[in-house]
Each structure stands twice: as C-alpha cells, then as structure tokens.
Amino acid sequence: MSLDLFTATHADAGEQIGAGTWLFRQRALPEVAALAGGLRLILAQAPWRHLITPGGHRMAVAMTNCGTLGWHSDEAGYRYQPVDPLSGHPWPAMPPAFAELARQAAALAGYPDFHPDACLINRYRPGAGLSLHQDRNEQDHGQPVVSVSLGMEARFLWGGLQRGQTALKLPLYHGDILVWGGPDRLRFHGIAPLQGPPHPEWGLKRINLTFRRAR
C-alpha cells in the first residue's frame, strides 16, 4: 500500500462533492495490480452472478462479494448474509489490499474509524446501469461508503435525500475513489447506462468496489 498517497489532509487532496462527500481522482492507480490480483482470487471462489430483485427482475449488473458479509437480493428482499447462496460457503475473505485502501481513503475523507466488513463488487458492461437508490441495508448509517472505480468511464448519478431531486452527473474514471457519509450517507445515487470506448487494459467493462460496514 502506497501510504504516501494519503498523507495530505482531505481538504487539499480531493474534490468536495457534498457536505460529507469527497472525490479523489486516480488515487487507486498505484494499487490496481493488487486489486486485480485480489479480484481474480475472489472470482475463483464466488463467480459473477446476476441477482433477482424482490420484484422478480434480473439485474443488468453482475456482482459478487468479499468480506465477512455479502449483499444479496432475491424475491425475499435485499439483505446481507455471511454465506454465498451459490456455493453454500462463506464469502471470500476481503484481501488486505482492498481493506487497507478503503480505510485510508475513508480517513482521508474525514472518517478515521472506518473498518469495512463487506465489499460489493459490481461489473458493468456497455448498456448496463444502476437506477437511483439509497444504501439502507447497513445497520449503522453513521459509517461511510467507499467506492473505487476500475475500467471504463462511468457517469455517477448523485441525487438528493429525496427520490425526485435532480441528480448530478459526475464522471468517474479508472482509479477514482469516491467517499460519502455523514449528511450525505443516504443520498440517492446510481450509475447511468455504461457507454463509451473500452478501457485500454480492462476492455469493455467497469468494475466497482463498494466498501461498507454492514454490521
């Protein structure tokens, strides 16, 4: 972990998007090789899958998890659980490089006590997106969310605390880290349908690592 990336104060190291939200451009780039290696190990144990929403719809975004808890969706609802329903085994352990990057980014954004126990990993292909939603399945909404972008450029939809409020369209690039919490923790957010040229190394996909403290 290149800890020197995180020695500056958050006020002069990133762009403030909201009262509790900071964007750190390309801060994950020195750790991309470690993140890619960890991702390969995770996928060997818990492959990509398209979950079913409580309404019976197949999600366009493929996903998996690592950590002591994993996020799951089916006709019974949205929830965190310790066991991968596909394998019947615990979710893969969170790689040290993943957890350390999330902790350091959160501290840089002003959240020094963040220790994630879940990492939701989403894979977007061209045309896939994620509608505006709130992250409410975690027990402690005082804990932030740390999001790491890899691969193709995406347009992050950053809405308000009410569903109908106009959403900011924020471009996210390979290596960007977005951290939100505090008064922004329950903002509606999503991803516009992925479009644009392939990433020169990651091809026609965007991978998003979303770190949370679920319990």
**Which parts are annotated binding residues for Fe cation?**
133, 135, 189
Kindly give, in sequence order, each residue whose CB lies less than 8 Å from that of residue 22, ignoring residues fewer than 6 positions away: 10, 14, 15, 16, 108, 109, 110, 178, 179, 180
Tell me which amino acid residue 84 is.
D
Phi, psi of 19 (to 5 degrees): -60, -35
DSSP 110-147: T-TT---SEEEEEEE-TT--EEEE----SS-TTS-EEE
**Annotated binding-site ranges:** 133, 135, 189
Contact status, residue 78 vs residue 71, Cβ threshold 8 Å? yes
The span from the CA of 22 to the CA of 147, in Å, is 11
The span from the CA of 159 to the CA of 152, in Å, is 22
Q: Is 57 helix (H, G, I), strand (E, B) or coil?
A: coil
What is the chain's length?
A: 215
The span from the CA of 159 to the CA of 67, in Å, is 28
